[in-house]
Amino acid sequence: MESIDHIRSNITEINTILNYAQQNQADIKMYQMFNKIAVVLLCTKFEVFLEDFMDEHSRMVIQGHTNTSIPTKMKDTYIDTAVNSASGVKNKTVRNSFLQSLMTLLKNDGSSIASIMNIRPSTKFGMGKHGQKEIESLFERHGLEAFIKSADAQNDLRMMNSLFSIRNNVIHEDASPGLTHQTIEDHRNNIMHFVGLIESDIRANHLTYYNQ
């Protein structure tokens, strides 16, 4: 998937910053500066990846499935999104577009659901909301609950909590006590392990997720 290829390519920027950190260990201010930059950038790249991946994943779901082949739990989520979207809109034309997509989904006649992109659950994090619970919610609403609740994924998420905590301290308090480039390397490796888990899961469940 393009989103996976992109993060594997873009993560090299973190490696470059960490190299600068290593080269400046004798200068504590410079060392800390590069480490703090690396932490913030690593978290940002990961969160961008998650949103890009979910956008790509959900598009493939809609393009590949029919209204009879889409998994029931995923279909229920789309139905809920359609109902909530329609009920919150006063504009008749816009509301009818949501209802039309809902009807396409409910027909159960084996027809394509490529036209229901407007009732796709959000592929974004809520404003200012990040962390394990938000990541789990993002995966669950796009039919990836079994993956995100797996032992391997949960282990990676627990380590990510530490990374997000470090990032928050850097952003809100400009603090990085005891932060080393080795610590950031460990978090980088953990993130890329998580990306690898996603890729393996997609390959193993390609037919279920994308009907192809």
Q: What is the pLDDT of residue 131?
A: 84
- How confident is the model at residue 23, as a pLDDT? 95
Task: List the chain residues with pLDDT less than 50.
Answer: none
Q: Where are the domains positioned within the chain?
A: 2-66+124-210
Query: So what's the pLDDT on residue 128?
Result: 66
Distance CA 26, CA 48 (A): 33
CATH of the domain spanning 2-66+124-210 = 1.20.120
pLDDT at 127: 66
CB of 36 closer than 8 Å to CB of 78: no
Tell me the C-alpha distance between 54 and 48, whole Å. Answer: 10
- 14-52: pLDDT as tens digits: 999 999 999 999 999 999 999 999 999 999 999 999 999
Confidence (pLDDT) at 177 = 63
Displacement of CA 115 from its chain's centroid (Å): 23
Q: What contacts 115, CB < 8 A, 6 or more positions away?
A: 101, 104
Contact by Cβ (8 Å): 159, 190 = yes
